[in-house]
């Protein structure tokens, strides 16, 4: 399969998985909120914020393993790929064990000093926390296997596992309705059990299908390679700490100022932003290996061009969902949730727009990973992301509203996205004029079209026809992008795909 066709196929698979997973997750959240109640749901999101933290660390470590596997895949070096995998397994096991033990030892500090949790729910919250420790460990030791799948561009199997995971979570959510004892404790334990199932699914499949995963031997231990991977991982983890420190830091601030009920609203916003992140990752996971392999094959020009394409299409595809959702957020949450927590609507709108702003130049982050210059990038760009945390605190300290604290997040995300351009120009020779011409300028009309369409539909159609806004916006954005948003080389690829679809459709008639 050609590289362009593989990217499009994998993107399609990812979008199918994302759509199915999002529908299941959103419905599950409705049941969970109803079953647990707003306070317990807020407690779960607060305590399980550690999983969000580990999720970012997982992404950081997975990106490291995938970067090295894809880089040397581009050089056709199977022996070194096996070494990379084995050393990654060692790193993940050690990091997972250290984190799990550290989290366990910090239990008294977290629950008796840091968090504001009602006394009668403290025992349940601690039980959930211990379940999350298990999630941390098994999530981390799964990383080398998921990274291998992405490096081999096997998006299909990982999507199947994720769909099964979503179905299992739905089953757990439905079972809450029949649990008579403490539902919060039960829910935490079952979430941990699902992660363990994921670990065995990925491990068995990868060991069966990929040579580098079959023999994990200490003979492949390479101190120099381990040091190099650990150095790269360290800065990727630093980036993850900055991002999750910002997100969970704001959650803790809200908890300290307003209590657990506002954490329910923040948790809803995080649920929606998580689904939006899945939408953007659908394209990015498909194209990231191509970016890294291009750099591994010493083709810097192609690598930067792919980074431009990733930025443009990730932004536009996410805008297709986010912009109509921002206009229709009140209706969406009213249908999704039996009772909408205070501030949930505006929190969700701001969170979605923040993710959208990050996509403006997201391909450049992968370009930098491909080149391997992670130290300066992590320190320069991701430290800025962390600034949203103290800014939000200062906003509330000086009597600002919860909305003003959330606006700090949107402001910082927009700033850091723009700064990527100047960093890559100074360090890696990116031509900003080319990026602006091929990405920013070509995005203006499609985005303006979908904003106008969403506004029109929101004000013309009754609330129960909110889905029309999404349908019309998708049609308008696709049309506007095809006719005004594509470069010549991008249009050639799209035309080839459309022609193949047309021919296959003609054969079936």
Q: Three-state SS across 347-416?
A: HHHHHHHHHHHHHHHHHHHHHHHHHCCHHHHHHHHHHHHHCHHHHHHHHHHCCCCHHHHHHHHHHHHHHH
Q: Which domain holds residue 288?
A: 3-430
pLDDT at residue 129, rounded to an integer: 85
In our burial notation (b when 16+ CB lie closer than 10 A, e otherwise), range 301-340 reads ebbbbbbbbbbbbbbbbbbbbbbbbbbbbbbbbebbbeeb
Residues 262-288 pLDDT 10s: 888 888 888 888 777 767 776 677 777
* Structure tokens given for 234: 């360290």
Average pLDDT estimate for 187-205: 92
Average pLDDT estimate for 119-132: 84
Residue 4 has pLDDT above 60, yes or no: no
Q: Which residues contact 484 (CB under 8 A, 6 or more apart)?
A: 442, 445, 446
Confirm whether 446 is domain-assigned.
no
Confirm whether 104 is domain-assigned.
yes
Split into its structural domains, the chain has a count of: 1
Residue 394 has pLDDT above 80, yes or no: yes
Residue 427 has pLDDT above 70, yes or no: no
pLDDT band at 54 (very low <50, low <70, confident <90, very high): low
Confirm whether 378 is domain-assigned.
yes
Please give the model's pTM, rounded to 2 decimal places: 0.74
Which tops the pLDDT comparison, 11 or 477? 477
pLDDT at residue 56, rounded to an integer: 64
Residue 485 has pLDDT above 60, yes or no: yes
Residues 208-243 pLDDT 10s: 988 888 877 777 777 787 788 778 878 888 887 888
Task: Give me the chain's average pLDDT, please.
Answer: 82
In degrees and rounded to multiples of 5, residue 182 shows phi and psi of -65, 110
What share of the chain has pLDDT > 70, as a percent? 89
Residue 205 has pLDDT above 80, yes or no: yes
Confirm whether 464 is domain-assigned.
no
What share of the chain has pLDDT > 90, as a percent? 18
HEC sequence for 19-72: HHHHHHHHHHHHHHHHHHHHHHHHHHHHHCHHHHHHHHHHHHHHHHHHHHHHHH
Which tops the pLDDT comparison, 385 or 45? 385
The region of weakest confidence among 84-88, 194-198, 304-308, 461-465 is 461-465
Average pLDDT estimate for 32-46: 75
Average pLDDT estimate for 50-60: 64
- Residue 2 backbone class (left: φ over 0; alpha: ψ -120 to 50; beta: rest): beta
Greatest Cα pair distance, the chain, in angstroms, is: 68
Q: Provide the 10 A C-beta neighbour count for residue 474.
A: 15
pLDDT at residue 361, rounded to an integer: 92
pLDDT at residue 25, rounded to an integer: 76
Contact 264, 43 (CB under 8 A): no
Confirm whether 487 is domain-assigned.
no
Which tops the pLDDT comparison, 326 or 22? 326
* Structure tokens given for 447: 């985005």
Contact 266, 250 (CB under 8 A): yes
pLDDT at residue 6, rounded to an integer: 64
pLDDT at residue 90, rounded to an integer: 84
d(CA 458, CA 262): 27
The region of weakest confidence among 74-83, 128-137, 163-172, 293-302 is 74-83
Confirm whether 166 is domain-assigned.
yes
Contact 307, 366 (CB under 8 A): yes
Confirm whether 449 is domain-assigned.
no
Contact 67, 37 (CB under 8 A): no
pLDDT at residue 227, rounded to an integer: 82
pLDDT at residue 114, rounded to an integer: 72
List of long-range contacts for 385-388, beta carbons under 8 Å, 24+ apart? 385/242, 385/243, 385/246, 385/412, 385/413, 385/416, 386/242, 386/243, 386/245, 386/246, 387/246, 387/412, 388/246, 388/250, 388/412, 388/413
Confirm whether 498 is domain-assigned.
no
d(CA 121, CA 118): 6
pLDDT band at 104 (very low <50, low <70, confident <90, very high): confident
Render 94-106 in DSSP notation, one character per residue: HHHHHHHHHHHHT
pLDDT band at 470 (very low <50, low <70, confident <90, very high): confident
Residue 344 has pLDDT above 70, yes or no: yes
Q: Which of 276, 352, 329 is nearest to 21 (CA)?
A: 276
d(CA 228, CA 88): 11
pLDDT at residue 415, rounded to an integer: 93
Residue 366 has pLDDT above 60, yes or no: yes
Give the containing element (helix H, strand E) for 147. helix 122-151
Average pLDDT estimate for 482-501: 79
d(CA 172, CA 261): 23
Average pLDDT estimate for 416-425: 88
Residue 497 has pLDDT above 70, yes or no: no
pLDDT at residue 215, rounded to an integer: 77
């Amino acid at each position: 399969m050609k590289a362009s066709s593989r990217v499009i196929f994998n993107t399609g698979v990812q979008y199918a998985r994302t759509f199915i997973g999002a529908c299941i997750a959103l419905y599950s959240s409705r049941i969970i909120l109803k079953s647990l109640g707003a306070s317990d749901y807020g407690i779960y999101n607060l305590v399980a914020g550690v999983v969000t933290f580990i999720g970012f660390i997982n992404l950081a470590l997975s990106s490291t393993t995938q970067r090295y596997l894809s880089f040397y895949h581009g050089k056709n070096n199977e022996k070194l790929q096996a070494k990379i995998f084995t050393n990654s397994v060692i790193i993940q096991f050690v990091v997972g064990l250290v984190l799990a033990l550290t989290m366990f030892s910090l239990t008294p500090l977290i629950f008796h000093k840091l968090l504001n949790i009602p006394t009668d729910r403290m025992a349940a919250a601690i039980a959930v926390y211990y379940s999350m420790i298990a999630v941390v460990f098994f999530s981390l030791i799964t990383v080398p296997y998921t990274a291998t799948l992405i490096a081999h561009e096997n998006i299909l199997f990982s999507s199947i596992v994720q769909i099964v995971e979503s179905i299992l979570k739905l089953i757990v959510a439905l079972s809450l309705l029949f649990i008579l004892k403490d539902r919060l404790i039960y829910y935490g334990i079952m979430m941990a059990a699902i992660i363990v199932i994921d670990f065995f699914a990925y491990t068995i499949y990868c060991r069966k299908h990929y040579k580098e995963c079959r023999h994990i031997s200490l003979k492949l231990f390479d101190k120099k390679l381990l040091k190099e991977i650990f150095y790269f991982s360290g800065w990727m983890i630093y980036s993850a700490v900055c991002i999750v420190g910002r997100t969970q830091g704001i959650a803790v601030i809200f908890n300290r100022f307003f209590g657990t009920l506002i954490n329910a609203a923040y948790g809803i916003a995080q649920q929606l932003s998580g689904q939006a992140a899945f939408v953007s990752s659908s394209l990015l996971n498909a194209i990231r290996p191509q970016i890294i392999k291009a750099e591994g094959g010493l083709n810097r020009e192609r690598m930067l061009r792919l980074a431009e394409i990733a930025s443009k299409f990730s932004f536009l595809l996410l805008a297709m969902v986010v912009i109509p959702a921002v206009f229709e957020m009140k209706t969406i949450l009213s249908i999704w949730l039996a009772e909408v927590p205070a501030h949930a609507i505006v929190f969700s709108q701001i969170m979605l727009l923040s993710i959208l702003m990050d996509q403006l130049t997201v391909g450049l982050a992968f370009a930098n990973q491909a080149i391997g210059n992670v130290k300066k990038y992590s320190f320069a760009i991701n430290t800025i992301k962390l600034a949203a945390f103290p800014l939000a605190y200062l906003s509330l300290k000086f009597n600002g509203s919860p909305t003003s604290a959330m606006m700090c997040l949107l402001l910082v995300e927009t700033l850091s996205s723009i700064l990527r351009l100047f960093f890559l120009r100074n360090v890696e020779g990116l031509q900003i004029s080319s990026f602006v011409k091929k990405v920013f300028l070509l995005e203006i009309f499609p985005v303006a079209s979908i904003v106008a369409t969403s506004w029109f539909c929101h004000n013309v159609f009754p609330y129960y026809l909110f889905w029309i806004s999404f349908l019309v916006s998708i049609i308008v954005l696709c049309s506007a992008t095809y006719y005004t948003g594509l470069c010549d080389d991008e249009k050639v690829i799209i035309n080839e795909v459309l022609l193949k679809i047309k021919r296959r459709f003609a054969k079936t008639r």
